[in-house]
Amino acid sequence: MTATSEPGAGRSSRGALDGGLLLFRVDGVPVLLAPSWWIGSLAIVVLYAPLVGRLLPGASALMSWTLAAAFAVLLGVSVLAHELGHCVVALRLGIPVRRLRLFLLGGLSEVARTPRRPGQEGMVAAAGPVVSLLLAGFCALLLLAVPSGGAAWLLVAECAVANLAVGLFNLLPGLPLDGGRLLRAGVWAATGARAKGTKAAVAGGGVVAFGLMVWALWGLADGSSDRWLRLGVCVVTAWFVVLGAGGELAAEGRRSWPAGLVLADLVRPVLQLPAESPVSDALAASAGRGVVLVRADGVAAGLLDEVAAERLAASSPLSPAELAAEPIRPETVLLASDPGEEIAERVQETAAWQFLVVDEEGRPAGVLRREDLRAAMIRPRGVR
């Protein structure tokens, strides 16, 4: 029931479909139904069916199970509408979305990169709850036109409750919920540091998880009629919140750029060689440097892949170095003037081991290797 930001810009479209059954696409974004959604829905049906008899006296067993199944489906549709709100706003802000996935008791809109500004984070986070609360209000008004006491009235009431629950729950101020993202955006805007916002929202996630367990145990102690449904939902949701908050904190650590770290100190000097150069010569020239292989027409054939070059040189040392080139893709080109956090995030989310760094004029300024950046980001400050 929350939007999330995960690495994924460098993954294949096939990988985006690995999360479940493809339902449809929104602006090219696949909407998937994970296998765990069926498990969560079955649990809702089993736990909710006994309550239908209390809400609708005289309902048969078949009617109770049917309305419970309808509630599970309506909850899934409510979560889908919620996530579509996140997805559409993110796309309108130019933030790519890898996929939208429904699972167990919630959903995820997996954005391919972190919002660059707190305002963007806030708008994407708020979109889901706004959609849910609008749908809850519409269903509440619809109740006035439906005769009370019947199955149709209960279905509309279920839809109103489902959307209200999804909207309000996601406004709780803790990651990975939308309220946590709103809290992070606020702290980020106030302090100028996204990491501080993440830490505050992760702490909020811990409070939310604790509150859920207290509410569940209170229901058991009080003998509430919905105590088992409440316990099941709260345990699963608290587990989801704790895992999500931990994942957000880890992701923030991976993208945080250490103070004093300068990109120019990490990039290796770049050497341009003709693409038809013998691979053995190119490999010898690559020691401590990044090698850009250029064709006769001036077009870059790619960066020399040292591992592939070593294999090729072992069997055919005079082969053109271009045969051991790693293509230069848009996502593997870094602008030297980009903020460090954006560079760290790009490297983290892109499936490549080296990146071409260019200046404002588009000229090669060096080559950044993933291993060099990783070592620098975990190295204690002051150690060179």
121 contact partners, CB below 8 Å, separation of at least 6: 114, 115, 181, 184, 185, 188
Q: Which two tokens stand for residue 251?
A: 């992701």
Q: Give the C-alpha distances (Å, rounded to integers) separating 350 from 28, 97, 346, 347, 354.
A: 20, 15, 6, 5, 10
Write the CA distances from 351 to 11, 94, 108, 251, 370, integer angstroms.
7, 21, 22, 16, 10
83 is catalytic: yes
**CA gyration radius, the chain:** 26
What DSSP letter does each residue of 287-311 carry, written as one string?
TTSEEEEE-TTS-EEEEE-HHHHHH
Decide: 11 and 23 in contact? Cβ < 8 Å: no
Catalytic residue among 83, 322, 326, 345: 83
- Tokens 């990988």 found at: 15
For the record, the structure tokens of 102 come out as: 């429904």
Cα pseudo-dihedral 261, 264, 267, 273, rounded to 10:
180
φ, ψ for residue 242, nearest 5 deg: -65, -45
Determine how many CB atoms are found less than 10 A away from the CB of residue 201. 28
Rounded-to-integer distance, Cα 40 and Cα 212, Å: 18
Looking at residue 226, the DSSP 8-state letter turns out to be: T
- 20 vs 17: CA distance, rounded Å: 7
* Burial per residue of 352-367, b for 16 or more beta-carbon CB atoms within 10 angstroms, e otherwise: bebbbbbeeeeebbbb
Q: Write the CB contacts of 342 (distance below 8 Å, at least 6 apart in sequence).
A: 116
Contact 186/206 with Cβ under 8 angstroms?
A: no
Per DSSP, 268 falls in state B
Strand locations in 11-143 (E): 21-26, 29-33, 97-103, 106-111
For the annotated catalytic residues, the residue numbers are 83
